[in-house]
Structure 1
Amino acid sequence: MDLTSLPLISTLVSLTYDGLMAVTSLIAPVSGHASAAVAVALVTLVVRAGLIPLGVASARAEQLRSRLAPRLRDLQKRHRRDPERLQRETMALYRAEGASPFTGCLPVLAQAPVLGLLYTVFIHSSIAGRPNALLDETLLGVPLGASLAGEIVQGTAGAGTAIVFAVIIAVIAAVAEATRRLLPVPTSADGPQVPGGALGALQYTTAVIAAFVPLAAAIYLAVTVVWTLGQRLVLRRRYPLASP
């Protein structure tokens, strides 16, 4: 079943498309042929700005987890043979602190519907029975509906496509490396540990994804990771983690 055929989702997708095209038309006198790409970037910034309160809550929760780490490790030692008791005691500890171990997931969950709507616009050739003009817009001659992997498979990938995607992927990879170096993931005391090698690989997942999605979605990903790094650096200074 195509969920976009549902009346509510179809309406939301249509409104998202109309909004993107309206921004594109508004900034066209300034940004010219790149107006649609700039519109995608601007909409991404608006989305991320709207999620700032959740980012603050996530940073505070991360700070709390680092402060509670010694007590959580103690609970693990005392109840390692009783997982159910360990879970109850862990949740009780968080409740006593007026927090939740799941707060850090809020920004991801909150942006999921918006990303879903945008990605639907980025991959459908028609929206509410109308041709999707956004996909025909270009960035340096590359259609926003084109993907690097798709162009390679079809044998139509030119130098322009390769250069545009290479720059976007390089930006995402550079941000991933900066994130790994500047914002190391603290050791978790209340969940499974992530091996260092696996964690390093996960940092670059978004860069790999960017090669397979439409250019419009790749722009969204690039702007998102740059914003997220900057926001986390600011919030880490505001809410520093407890020393190990």
Structure 2
Amino acid sequence: MSVFSVFARLVEHLADLLQPLCHASAAAAAIVLFTALVRLLVHPLSRAAARGQRARAALQPKIAELREKHAKDPQRLQKAVLELHAEEQVSPLSGCLPSLFQLPAFFLLYHLFSSSTIGGETNGLLGHRLFAAPLGGKWADALGDGGIFGGAGLVYLGLFALVAAVAAFNYRRTKRTMADNPVAVSAGGGERVPGLGAVGKVMPFMSFFTLVTVAVVPLAAALYVVTSTAWSAVERAALYR
């Protein structure tokens, strides 16, 4: 039995459990519940990432000194920064781990709701819906079946509104965090690290890119993205306050 067959049975089992409460949208509710379970499993990594970010912020004065000391030797500067992280037992990559560990769950959902057959059998999950929108459909399908204000189109408008609200919350929070904790990026002459200014300008808008993801992936995968994004906004607000 393939991993996709096992995962399909898990989703179907969760949907059966939620059927009395959610009726025709039980499978959609199962995906939301599955996402919450994944985020609970990843939460210890998120807490570790928050501790890592605070530790990296505490190292910024020392890193600024190293930049000034090795301003004319980029290779020596890089080595010195890595040695500092190792000495303080701070991983510069710890913040990436929560996202990396979620990728398999997302791709499982994407494959499961993009395939007409699973394990050689007809994929019955494609018949499930969130209200009027099929879980295996995409926004383009909704536009072709009733338009923006059709039954499926309204489901997507609701998801877009939720994502936009979460993105606006993240935007304001990121701008405030960057203003309160400016990174020490200047060398003795006041020159910025190349490219860092552009990254700083784009970073607050990153959450809005989720709108594109929701529009192009199957609805089931979009539900995962929306639920996980909302969870991240609340989790980060609690961990990084």
Q: Does 2:226 match 1:232?
A: no
SS of equivalent residue, structure 1 residue 203: helix
Alignment correspondent of 1:213 = 217
Alignment correspondent of 2:145 = 156
Q: Does 2:46 match 1:43?
A: no
Q: Is the 8 A contact 2:27 2:129 kept in 1?
A: yes
Q: Does 2:162 match 1:171?
A: yes
AA partner of residue 169 (structure 2): A
Q: Does 2:23 match 1:18?
A: no
Q: Is the 8 A contact 2:66 2:81 kept in 1?
A: yes
Q: Distance in 1 between matches of 2:169 and 2:206?
A: 13
Aligned-pair identity (%): 34
Measure how far apart 1:157 and its partner are: 4.1
Q: Distance in 1 between matches of 2:183 and 2:215?
A: 32
Give the alignment partner of residue 196 of structure 2, picking from 183, 193, 207.
193
Q: Is the 8 A contact 1:150 1:212 kept in 2?
A: no
SS of equivalent residue, structure 1 residue 119: helix
Measure how far apart 1:66 and its partner are: 1.2
Q: Is the 8 A contact 2:133 2:142 kept in 1?
A: no
Alignment correspondent of 1:203 = 207
Q: Distance in 2 between matches of 1:197 and 1:165?
A: 29
Q: Is the 8 A contact 1:125 1:131 kept in 2?
A: yes
Question: Deviation digits for residues 198-239 of structure 1, max 9, x if unmatched?
Answer: 2243220011210111111111111101111111111113xx
Q: Does 2:135 match 1:137?
A: no
Alignment correspondent of 2:112 = 121
Measure how far apart 1:28 and its partner are: 0.8
Q: Distance in 2 between matches of 1:140 and 1:123?
A: 19
AA partner of residue 234 (structure 2): G
Query: Please, what TM-score do these two structures have when normalized by structure 1?
Result: 0.86
Alignment correspondent of 2:85 = 94
How many residues are paired up?
226
Q: Is the 8 A contact 1:123 1:145 kept in 2?
A: yes
SS of equivalent residue, structure 2 residue 240: helix
**1:201 to 1:38, Cα distance in 2 relative to 1, 3 A:** same
> Tell me, which stretches of 5 or more residues in structure 1 are unaligned?
1-9, 238-244
Q: Distance in 1 between matches of 2:68 and 2:90?
A: 22
> Tell me, which stretches of 5 or more residues in structure 2 are unaligned?
186-192
Give the alignment partner of residue 80 of structure 1, picking from 50, 71, 79.
71
SS of equivalent residue, structure 1 residue 32: helix
Q: Distance in 2 between matches of 1:129 and 1:106?
A: 34
**1:194 to 1:109, Cα distance in 2 relative to 1, 3 A:** farther
Question: Deviation digits for residues 98-152 of structure 1, max 9, x if unmatched?
Answer: 1111111110111112222222112111111111111210111111111112443
Measure how far apart 1:69 and its partner are: 1.2
Measure how far apart 1:197 and its partner are: 4.0
**1:136 to 1:79, Cα distance in 2 relative to 1, 3 A:** same
Query: Please, what TM-score do these two structures have when normalized by structure 2?
Result: 0.87
**1:147 to 1:44, Cα distance in 2 relative to 1, 3 A:** same
Measure how far apart 1:179 and its partner are: 1.0
User: Which residues in structure 2 correspond to 1:43-82 (within 5 Å)?
Assistant: 43-82=34-73
Deviating more after overlay: 92-101 vs 157-166: 157-166
Q: Distance in 1 between matches of 2:101 and 2:68?
A: 35
Q: Is the 8 A contact 2:106 2:221 kept in 1?
A: no
